[in-house]
């Protein structure tokens, strides 16, 4: 029975994360980029100034009331976006696809900036406000309210997929990583880790989305700056090799020489697939998860919140994923699928890369601490994504909400104590399948995104 489930999931997964779907994900980004006038280039300076730059202006602090502040919304979204894929996923992509995978990862991020901008803009426009004044939104709401009531079955499909994925990709996979990190750091028993994790998550979930936003607003900046600082140190230590590594990335992206042996002329396709897949998996542009968090923002103008999506993809993929990639390539370790099999995991390969540059075992500590915070923040944000998805399906039933939270908390223990390999694979498939209804809505509602964009940028300089 388990073999049959594994086989079926493998077949679906190969399509969900295969060439056709990846082309559709990136192609949607290309289409939206053209239709919006390439805002990620034309308005990049304005976007950075009015997103991360606004945090340094004392007169620009906004209270969220019952909802999240704009910054809390983006840190909640980033908490779910910046995860283990930024380390283990990128490392695996380079081993399998070669240095050229990094270039195609950048390409997917470039167009993904516009995709995420569009998702958030639609989530803001078509969100609802409940009787308590709390904003709720996401793909399920802009599918139903934007495309019309006849499209509700598609919205329900997205919500079911998102609700199920929250237990797997948003919980079990992350709990397993936390248990591994804690065992490596202090030798803590996985069961103890699972129980402690369940207690921590319980405390946060009781406070609702406001508490999730408050926690992530402190955790995400810390974990991002911690990893970025470590990466910068590594790059500075090997600064003389950096130009050659960049040249290698560009030339390998269009090379006909296979990585670690293999079919001649096959390397470009492998590099593209690995780069696109890891880029999309990391920044989640097009998957529809992050807009759920952004819809809870107190911001009124859809585009004003949506420009945070451009920053989100930039910091996740162009900055954090690139730091992982540069560390692996600067370490000079042997690449190729066979070389990867010599390590216990992709994360172990990343540890080796850091340790080969930094003195002693400092690199391993950096990876383990980073994975710990990356995974914990992902659990927090996905708990909210799942809550909103099941809330949509149950018409915001309090009973369903309570049951969901109890099950989600218990799954922290399941993930920490079990291997969860099959569940991780199934969750990976569900996560990718979320993109299908979301991309349909993005393409059909692209005209709405264009109008939102024109209205917002018409008087901007």
Sign, CA dihedral 325-328-332-334, equals negative
* Span 128-182, pLDDT tens digits: 988 888 899 999 999 999 999 999 999 999 999 999 888 887 888 788 878 877 8
How many other C-beta atoms can be found within 10 angstroms of the C-beta atom of residue 392? Answer: 25
Of the candidates 461, 444, 459, the residue with the CA atom closest to the CA atom of residue 35 = 444
**SS3 state of residue 434:** coil
For β-strands 128-129 and 135-136, DSSP reports them as antiparallel
- Quote the CA–CA distance of 312 and 36 in Å, as a whole number: 18
pLDDT value at residue 180: 78
pLDDT value at residue 377: 87
Query: Is the whole model's pTM more than 0.75, yes or no?
Result: yes
Residues 51 and 311 sit within 8 Å (Cβ to Cβ): yes
Residues whose CB is less than 8 angstroms from the CB of residue 128 and which lie 6 or more positions away in sequence, other chains included:
135, 136, 137, 141, 145
H helices within 98-207, ranges in order?
100-125, 139-147, 152-167, 173-186, 190-206
**SS3 state of residue 62:** coil
pLDDT value at residue 264: 44
pLDDT value at residue 311: 92
- Quote the CA–CA distance of 445 and 246 in Å, as a whole number: 38
**Which residue numbers in the chain have pLDDT < 70?**
1-2, 56-66, 256-267, 419-424, 461
Of the candidates 459, 439, 455, 454, the residue with the CA atom closest to the CA atom of residue 31 = 439
pLDDT value at residue 256: 64
How many other C-beta atoms can be found within 10 angstroms of the C-beta atom of residue 312? Answer: 27
Count of CA atoms in the C-beta half-sphere (13 A) of 154: 21
**Structural domains in the chain, sorted by start:** 68-454 (1.20.1740.10)
Of the candidates 120, 110, 112, 115, the residue with the CA atom closest to the CA atom of residue 141 = 120
| Cα separations in angstroms, 356 against 120, 326, 371 | 41, 13, 19
Q: Residue 231 corresponds to which tokens in the numbers above?
A: 């990466």
């Amino acid at each position: 029975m388990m073999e049959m489930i594994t086989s079926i999931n493998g077949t679906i997964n190969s399509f969900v994360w295969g060439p056709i779907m990846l082309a559709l994900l990136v192609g949607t980004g290309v289409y939206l980029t053209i239709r919006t006038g390439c805002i990620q280039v034309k308005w990049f300076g304005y976007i950075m100034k009015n997103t991360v730059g606004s945090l340094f202006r004392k007169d620009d602090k906004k209270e969220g009331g019952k909802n999240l502040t704009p910054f809390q919304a983006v840190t909640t979204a980033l908490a779910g976006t910046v995860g283990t894929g930024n380390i283990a996923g990128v490392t695996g992509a380079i081993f399998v696809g070669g240095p050229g995978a990094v270039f195609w990862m950048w390409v997917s991020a470039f167009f993904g900036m516009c995709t995420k901008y569009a998702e958030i803009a639609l989530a803001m426009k078509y969100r609802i406000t409940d009787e308590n004044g709390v904003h709720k939104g996401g793909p399920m709401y802009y599918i139903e309210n934007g495309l019309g009531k006849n499209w509700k079955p598609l919205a329900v499909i997205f919500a079911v997929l998102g609700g199920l994925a929250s237990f797997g990709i948003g919980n079990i996979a992350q709990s397993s990583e936390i248990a591994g990190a804690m065992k490596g750091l202090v030798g803590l028993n996985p069961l103890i880790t699972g129980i402690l994790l369940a207690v921590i998550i319980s405390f946060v979930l009781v406070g609702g989305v406001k508490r999730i936003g408050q926690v992530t607003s402190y955790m995400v900046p810390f974990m991002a700056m911690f990893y970025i600082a470590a990466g910068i140190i590594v790059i500075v230590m090997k600064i003389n090799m950096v130009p050659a590594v960049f040249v290698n990335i560009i030339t390998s992206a269009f090379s006909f020489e296979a990585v670690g042996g293999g079919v001649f002329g096959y390397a470009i396709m492998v590099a593209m697939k690995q780069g696109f897949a890891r880029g999309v998996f990391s920044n989640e542009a097009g998957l529809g998860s992050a807009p759920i968090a952004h819809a809870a923002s107190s911001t009124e103008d859809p585009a004003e919140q949506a420009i945070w999506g451009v920053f989100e993809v930039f910091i996740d993929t162009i900055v954090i994923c690139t730091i992982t990639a540069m560390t692996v390539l600067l370490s000079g370790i042997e690449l190729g699928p066979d070389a990867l099999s010599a390590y216990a995991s992709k994360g172990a390969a990343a540890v080796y890369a850091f340790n080969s540059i930094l003195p002693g075992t400092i690199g391993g500590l950096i990876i383990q601490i980073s994975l710990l915070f990356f995974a914990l923040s992902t659990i927090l944000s996905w708990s909210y994504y799942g809550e909103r998805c099941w809330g949509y399906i149950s018409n915001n039933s309090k009973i369903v909400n309570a049951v969901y939270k109890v099950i989600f908390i218990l799954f922290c223990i399941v993930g920490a104590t079990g291997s969860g390999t099959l569940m991780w694979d199934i969750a990976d498939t569900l996560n990718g399948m979320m993109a299908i209804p979301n991309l349909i809505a993005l393409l059909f509602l692209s005209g709405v995104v264009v109008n939102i964009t024109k209205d917002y940028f018409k008087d901007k300089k």
